Amino acid sequence: MGTDRLSLRAWLAILLVASALLFFAGIYLERATVANETPAAVVPSSQPEASPVEGGGEAGEAGHSEAPAASVEAAGETATEHAAEARPFGIDLESPLLVGGAIVVSLILAFAVLRTTHPLVMMVIIGFALLFTLFDVLEASHQLGAARSGLALIAAMLAVLHVVTALLALRLVTQARGARLASG
């Protein structure tokens, strides 16, 4: 039984490290994808083509100044919509502090699961995994809405990894409880 529990703990640590690495890769790819999409969306809208040619003098200048303002407003609405989508429950899921914190917590939990058998560690892992499963599902939905199927797939894979992590931690908790009841 001890060997079985040790191997389950090792698998749990591997899942935590793998999810941290996949999370990092997903964030990196998302930032690269968004950076590549942003200039294409902003450049055409900020360059009015017909306004200066159609009207001359002051009317042309007025038309020229209104077109960029409308373009800026349209870009602002898009940025606002993107910001609202990227902040479920008011949390910026892509902030460097949250991303770094999630990765560090995942790695600390992976280390802790190998060093201790305390049920509190498993309960923290279950809570962590379930919370991030929720965020992963929201992110997958957001990426599908933005037509980024590759990033949606990564988010869905993370959701599965987090569910499996929570289930494995739950199994370890129930095994430890069963062992205590059998010996006591």
pLDDT of residue 5: 56
Specify whether the CB–CB gap between 151 and 170 falls below 8 A. Answer: no
- Is 24 a member of any domain? yes
- Is 59 a member of any domain? no
- Is 107 a member of any domain? yes
Amino acid at 106: S
Q: What is the pTM of this model?
A: 0.69
- Is 16 a member of any domain? yes
pLDDT of residue 91: 75
Specify whether the CB–CB gap between 129 and 170 falls below 8 A. Answer: no
pLDDT 10s digits, 66-92: 444 444 444 443 444 454 455 767 778
Domain housing 6: 2-37+90-183
CB atoms within 10 A of CB 159: 21
- Is 53 a member of any domain? no
| Regions of the chain short of the pLDDT cut 50 | 1, 40-81, 83-84
- Is 54 a member of any domain? no
pLDDT of residue 2: 52
- Is 63 a member of any domain? no
Specify whether the CB–CB gap between 109 and 165 falls below 8 A. Answer: no
The domain tally of the chain equals 1
Q: What sign does the CA torsion over 79, 81, 87, 90 have?
A: positive
pLDDT of residue 39: 54
pLDDT of residue 26: 93
